[in-house]
Structure 1
């Protein structure tokens, strides 16, 4: 097997979508000072492969321990819908969502999990984290 196969992916493909400006995620004031976990699941996430233009499907899970602010769900829905026609790799999706969630609400910790529908027999699960989760 030839290990030097050129699949035609470029640096432009790799970064595509990662720096795209998306709608702001709004927040509201957290009413509790104790630590608790908020888990938000989007079971019908869609985006587009930046090279082939084919759709990608998956489940995005956002988990975080709020600090002063909590994510407002309506603005989060509009934010996530922007990925529908965006060419972006799965790895960039999880990391971009994490960056934008942290920027919006500055949680104590956060975890974004992207569990994507298998393609060609391979299933990708991407986990991006901010901060250190407390031990149980």
Structure 2
């Protein structure tokens, strides 16, 4: 497939696409990696991620950092944004949200490597940070630190 056609199967990019009702109904789209065979790191940062506490219905907020070394596929960024936004009305604990996002990306993209850092803001006075990765990071790819400082409250 030529590089000009790698986007031909996308259904959301460039279109008015509503926010999915749930993470399960969200469509994560992928495109062929035009640099397949070259090892590099892709980073997505979502500093205003929200979901709902499954017990109270109150909003939970996180700063997510997703790093991956692609194989044959790249995630299309609008579909990723819509997928992450679909958690806005989804009730799940921090751990479930963070790991579910990672596993869905791994299932769809089959990356060489992926990690996610979920830096959750305090609820009940306790911040909960959740980390997941698929294995050892490739030694020959520059993967910067996520750079999110630990929670320090008011200093």
**Normalising by structure 1, what TM-score?**
0.81
Aligned residues: 118
| Off by >2 Å, runs of 4+ in structure 1 | none
The answer to whether the aligner puts 1:72 opposite 2:76 as a matched pair is: yes
User: Where does structure 2 lack aligned partners over 5 or more consecutive residues?
Assistant: 1-22, 141-155
Query: What is the distance in 1 between the residues matched to 2:60 and 2:66?
Result: 18
Distance 2:111 2:25 in 1: 20
Residue 30 (structure 2) aligns with: 27
2:125 is aligned with 1:121: yes
Q: 2:55 aligns with which of 35, 46, 51?
A: 51
C-alpha separation in 2, matches of 1:80 and 1:41: 11
Q: CA RMSD in A?
A: 1.6
Q: Which residue of 1 aligns with 2:152?
A: none
Structure 1: gaps spanning 5 or more residues: 1-19
Greater strand content: 1
